[in-house]
Amino acid sequence: MKHYITSALIIFGVLIFSPDTRSQGKGNSAKRYTPPFGVLSLTGGIGLTYYYGDLNNKINLKHLGMGPSVSLGALYRVTEHFSARGEFRFYQTSGEQRYSRYPDNNLSFRTRNPDINLGIQADLFSYNSHARINPYLFLGAGVTYLNPKAKLDGKWYSLPPLTTEGVKYSRLPLVITGAIGVSVQAFERLSLGIEMNNNFVRSDYFDDVSGVFPNPDQLPSDLARRLSDRSSEIGLDPKQPGWHRGVGTRNDIFSFVQLRATYLIGNRMQASERKRMRCPKL
């Protein structure tokens, strides 16, 4: 996946800086030129979240574990093609190990996580070309708050405090985000579009599962022992310490597919002009 994102960034960069692409906007001279620096827009998105990790390491179309996602933020334009983008995001996803490579472990989780993300958005067509359809790439970084929970006897329990693998891990890991999207101008100041992104978590404990089963005697409580090894719930013998609890070879990933909206606020010059038009001098 990283190879594909790198290739896309290279191709996109070539297109952005090529003379043919820059000339796309020269034919539209009816609209007034606006200095791009400082142009502010508000952003929002709603869609679905998909997770790939230890409890969902193969695609099962009947059990994808998808959940909702929402995002709110802003774009601050820096050049004709590039903008700084920051967003607050909230999402839910889940996974069940019985549909993965290790179904006998019988582990599962659900998580609802807040997330802050900052990065750079690169538009294919320049701001002053006023292109109605504008593809873009986004590359950013941020942190997400891990909150995996598991259901037992009809009640949800937070897993990190229980240290179900005998490991205390960070609940605020770094997240690297790569996205591709397209924006379509629907009205003068409102654009709608779709975006797909991958979020690479710098942790393998997004789902509270990573390595091997611990020695149950070293876990802090009976509840931790029950949620650490759930094999007995499906009629199997308890797992021996050191048995694979997860895949443990790579960090977890979650992805968004969102419908998005961007509302143009403009810069100080545009705001002053709108104010002057609303309040003509007598």
Give residue limits of the domains in the chain: 47-55+98-112+143-172+197-249
**What does the pLDDT look like over 77-125, one tens digit per residue?**
999 999 999 999 999 999 999 888 778 899 999 999 999 999 999 999 9
Band the pLDDT of 246: cuts 50, 70, 90: confident
The beta strands (E) that lie in the chain are given as 40-52, 67-77, 82-96, 108-123, 133-144, 148-152, 155-158, 174-185, 190-201, 253-266
Lowest-pLDDT range, 31-45, 56-70, 107-121, 247-261?
Answer: 56-70
Structure-token match 């929002």, residue found: 44
* C-alpha span between 138 and 197 (Å, rounded): 8
Predicted confidence at residue 103, as pLDDT, reads 85
Instruction: From 86, 246, 260, select the one nearest 177 (Cα to Cα).
Output: 86
Sequence length of the chain is 282
* C-alpha span between 175 and 49 (Å, rounded): 15
The answer to whether 76 and 36 have CB atoms below 8 angstroms apart is no
Can you read off the two tokens belonging to residue 227? Answer: 């949620």
**What does the pLDDT look like over 27-40, one tens digit per residue?**
444 567 888 899 99
Torsion 96-255-201-9 (CA) sign? positive
* C-alpha span between 262 and 198 (Å, rounded): 20
Q: Is residue 14 pLDDT above 60, yes or no?
A: no
Can you read off the two tokens belonging to residue 212? Answer: 């091997």
* C-alpha span between 112 and 93 (Å, rounded): 7
Q: Which pairs from 183-188 meet CB under 8 Å and 24+ separation?
A: 183/123, 183/133, 183/134, 183/135, 183/136, 183/260, 183/262, 184/132, 184/133, 184/134, 185/130, 185/131, 185/132, 185/133, 185/134, 188/264
Round the CA-based radius of gyration of the chain to a whole number and report it.
24
Question: Between 139 and 64, whose confidence is greater?
Answer: 139
Q: Is residue 19 pLDDT above 60, yes or no?
A: no
| Residue 165 CB partners (closer than 8 Å, separation 6+) | 208, 209, 210, 211, 212, 213, 214, 228, 245
Predicted confidence at residue 210, as pLDDT, reads 94
Predicted confidence at residue 81, as pLDDT, reads 97
Lowest-pLDDT range, 5-9, 105-109, 202-206?
Answer: 5-9
Instruction: Report percent pLDDT > 90 for the chain.
Output: 72
| Reduced 3-state DSSP string for 19-32 | HHHHHHHCCCCCCC
Torsion 214-215-219-222 (CA) sign? positive
pTM: predicted TM-score of the whole model, two decimal places: 0.83
Q: Is residue 202 pLDDT above 70, yes or no?
A: yes
